[in-house]
Amino acid sequence: MENVKVPAFCDANRYEVLCKQMLDPLLKLAKKVTKNKHTAEDAVQEAFMKAQRHRLHFYDEQHFRRWMALATRHSSRDYVRKAERYSFLEDHKPFWYNVPADQYIPEIYVFKAEKRSYVAGMVNTLKPIYRLIIIDKYFYDLSYQEISAATGIKEATLRSHCHRALNLLRELYT
């Protein structure tokens, strides 16, 4: 906290105490929005960095607390939106990257690459929860029990979401 510039409404010691008091509630808020501890920590850190840039705008402690809660919520939502836009199945390596030279038949690998790209595009159009389940189940070969443990979603719910996602993919494919 030595290099941190404090808002005009308090001294450096009070500001440090205030930030430490707010850290846990802000982390809880961010975790509730992002559903991920590490992303929540990043969002809270970003909110504190924004507070440093706007420190002269705070006129009292309550204003600072409300502003930090709002900045944390906005940062968390931004991280969630970025994650939804992220394409989980994009393969940035060219299709011939892992092909042995003596087995290279261009037509086969072009067809496989196009098919992989087409399937990835269809999966990426699904809702985020469906996409997560399909990727975990069919691309990473995880069981429903393993997916349930990782996501905290009941196995029965996972099965119904997977069934719905597969039906949506069938509709897209035909």
**pTM for this one?**
0.49
Say how many C-beta atoms besides its own lie within 10 A of residue 6's C-beta. 18
pLDDT tens digits for 71-83?
999 999 888 888 7
Share of the chain above pLDDT 70, in %: 82
What domains appear along the chain, each with residue ranges and CATH number? 12-85 (no CATH), 101-173 (1.10.10.10)
Q: Please say whether the beta carbons of 81 and 39 come within 8 A.
A: no
Question: Over 80: is that where the pLDDT of 127 sits?
Answer: yes
pLDDT at residue 167 in the model: 94
The model's pLDDT over 24-44, given as tens digits with 9 standing for 90+, comes to 999 998 998 888 899 999 999
How do residues 82-116 score in pLDDT, each as one tens digit?
Answer: 876 655 555 555 555 566 666 667 777 778 778 88
